[in-house]
């Protein structure tokens, strides 16, 4: 099966937009992009009067090395949100194709599928002893789908998936569609990324982001890792200059070895402090269940989830209500903050009565 044959016929027939700012065209006297020749006040050498390189070579090189893949396996996007949207638009025919999600999960998979007019098939996770598990039998019976979205560690449950579970699903569905594994939180977990496996498994797509472990949510930088044929299809529909120059510069700096090492230390600090948060939650009388998970957040079920969110907000602390997700009535997601912020939450919790 040629992976490109799974894409929408309209997309297969497209040629990518010919951008004027590919690296090779960006030296000399630049009279080819209707830009203003003068940089703005306070430009600081960024050259903001010029369009950015569509897929910045240096950043791609650094990220490919960090993810252990080749640059041809990488598409840089405006956050993983854009990666999800591009996959949807390239592969899913409105009112014809199906998309599978396994809720409770990140809400953009379903929203993006609905925007595209996909038939959304939800195979809910099953609550097990320690956490939430994929319903493997349900997934095998679900029938063909152009995209299956999995997430490891999963938002909001925090559970990780075994590599073999994902790869087996991808192998079984190789003639039908892509299996997308969203690894937005993988740096917080001890698990290995599946990024390097896309070389052997052409229908496997891995989503990574600089929004979480790298602390660059404001830069909107995501990395979609896939077979070069998938990357080639997505490049046909991504807008011409998606990545703003200041965001790219910040990301390049964040990938300097010393900056990466400093982030690793911060991750250790966050994850160490998680124990303190989990302990405070587990000993609270109104808390029924705590799922520490493998990411930089904790999921908790209390006697009244919406009340916890409301009362915390009144104390100036924002939490995420998960009550609307299947199986998560009265559940709340709490992101780890700085030690001081975690202390503030723990102090609020000690006084909180449901
Ligand atoms: N995937 C998951 C599982 C997420 O939780 C999020 C952010 N909440 C995203 C993707 C989107 O991340 P980005 O900032 O890269 O668009």
Pair 110, 226 in one domain: yes
Number of domains in the chain: 2
Per-residue pLDDT for 171 more than 90? yes
Please give the helix or strand (H or E) that residue 282 lies within, else none. Answer: helix 257-282
Pair 224, 336 in one domain: no
Among 212, 213, 293, 322, the mutation site with the greatest number of ligand 1 atoms within 8 A of its Cβ is 212
Q: What is the pTM of this model?
A: 0.97
Give the confidence band of 269 by pLDDT, cuts at 50, 70, 90. very high
Q: Which of the listed residues 200, 230, 255 is the one where a domain comes to its end?
A: 255
Pair 169, 272 in one domain: no
Mean pLDDT of the chain: 96
Distance CA 4, CA 11 (A): 9
pLDDT single digits (tens) 3-14: 999 999 999 999
pLDDT single digits (tens) 194-206: 999 999 999 999 9
**191 CA from centroid of ligand 1 (Å):** 18
34 lies in a domain?
no
Pair 73, 205 in one domain: yes
Phi, psi of 19 (to 5 degrees): -80, 155
For residue 1, the model assigns a pLDDT of 76
Pair 131, 176 in one domain: yes
Pair 104, 197 in one domain: yes
Distance CA 88, CA 154 (A): 20
Average pLDDT over residues 168-194: 97
Ligand 1 atom having least distance to the Cα of 84: 10
Ligand 1 atom having least distance to the Cα of 106: 3
Per the CB < 8 A criterion, the answer to whether 302 and 286 are in contact is yes
83 lies in a domain?
yes
The distance of Cα 13 from the centroid of its chain, to the nearest Å, equals 28
Pair 288, 327 in one domain: yes
44 lies in a domain?
no
CATH code for the domain in which residue 275 is found:
3.90.1150.10
- ipTM, interface predicted TM-score of the complex: 0.99
Per the CB < 8 A criterion, the answer to whether 243 and 14 are in contact is no
Ligand 1 atom having least distance to the Cα of 154: 3
Distance CA 133, CA 233 (A): 32
Average pLDDT over residues 136-158: 97
pLDDT single digits (tens) 208-244: 999 999 999 999 999 999 999 999 999 999 999 999 9
Give the confidence band of 26 by pLDDT, cuts at 50, 70, 90. confident
Q: Which of the listed residues 255, 283, 301 is the one where a domain comes to its end?
A: 255
Distance CA 179, CA 12 (A): 19
Closest CA to 342 of 252, 285, 273: 273
Q: Which of the listed residues 226, 255, 284 is the one where a domain comes to its end?
A: 255
Closest residue CA from atom 12 of ligand 1: 80
Pair 112, 234 in one domain: yes
For residue 16, the model assigns a pLDDT of 78
Burial of 145 from C-beta contacts in 10 A (0-12 / 13-18 / 19+): buried
Q: Collapsing DSSP states into helix, strand and coil, what is residue 168?
A: helix
pLDDT single digits (tens) 75-106: 999 999 999 999 999 999 999 999 999 999 99
Q: What is the dihedral of CA 225, 228, 229, 231, to 10 degrees?
A: 50
pLDDT single digits (tens) 285-314: 999 999 999 999 999 999 999 999 999 999
244 lies in a domain?
yes
For residue 145, the model assigns a pLDDT of 98
Pair 310, 278 in one domain: yes
Domain ranges, residue 266: 259-351
Percent of the chain scored above 90 by pLDDT? 94
Pair 203, 237 in one domain: yes
221 lies in a domain?
yes
Give the confidence band of 23 by pLDDT, cuts at 50, 70, 90. confident
13 lies in a domain?
yes
243 lies in a domain?
yes
CATH code for the domain in which residue 118 is found:
3.40.640.10
Pair 99, 81 in one domain: yes
Give the confidence band of 41 by pLDDT, cuts at 50, 70, 90. very high
């Amino acid at each position: 099966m040629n992976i490109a044959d799974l894409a929408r016929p309209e997309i297969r027939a497209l040629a990518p937009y010919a951008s004027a700012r590919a690296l090779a065209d960006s030296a000399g006297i630049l009279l080819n992009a209707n830009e203003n020749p003068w940089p703005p006040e306070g430009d600081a050498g960024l050259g903001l009067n010029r369009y950015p390189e569509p897929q910045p070579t240096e950043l791609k090189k650094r990220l490919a090395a960090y993810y252990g893949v080749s640059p041809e396996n990488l598409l840089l996007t405006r956050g993983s949100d854009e990666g999800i949207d591009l996959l949807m638009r390239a592969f899913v025919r409105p009112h014809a194709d199906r998309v599978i999600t396994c809720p409770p999960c990140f809400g953009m998979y379903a929203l993006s599928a609905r925007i595209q007019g996909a038939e959304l098939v939800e195979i809910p996770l099953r609550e097990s002893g320690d956490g939430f598990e994929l319903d493997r039998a349900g997934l095998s019976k679900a029938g063909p789908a152009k995209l299956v979205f999995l997430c490891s560690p999963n938002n909001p449950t925090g559970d990780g998936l075994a590599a073999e579970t994902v790869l087996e699903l991808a192998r079984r569905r190789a003639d039908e569609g892509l299996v997308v594994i969203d690894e937005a939180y993988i740096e917080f977990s001890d698990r290995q990324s599946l990024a390097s496996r896309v070389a052997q498994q052409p229908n496997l797509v891995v989503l990574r982001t600089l929004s979480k472990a790298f602390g660059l949510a404001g830069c909107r930088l995501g990395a979609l890792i896939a077979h070069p044929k998938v990357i080639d299809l997505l490049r046909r529909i991504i807008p011409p200059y998606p990545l703003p120059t200041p965001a790219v510069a910040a990301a390049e700096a964040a990938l300097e070895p010393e900056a990466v090492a400093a982030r690793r230390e911060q991750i250790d600090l966050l994850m160490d402090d998680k124990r303190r948060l989990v302990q405070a939650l587990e000993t609270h009388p109104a808390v029924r269940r705590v799922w520490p998970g493998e990411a930089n957040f904790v999921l908790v079920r209390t006697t009244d989830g919406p009340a916890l969110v409301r009362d915390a907000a009144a104390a100036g602390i924002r939490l995420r209500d998960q009550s609307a997700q299947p199986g998560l009535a009265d559940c709340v997601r709490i992101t780890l903050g700085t030690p001081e912020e975690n202390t503030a939450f723990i102090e609020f919790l000690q006084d909180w009565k449901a």
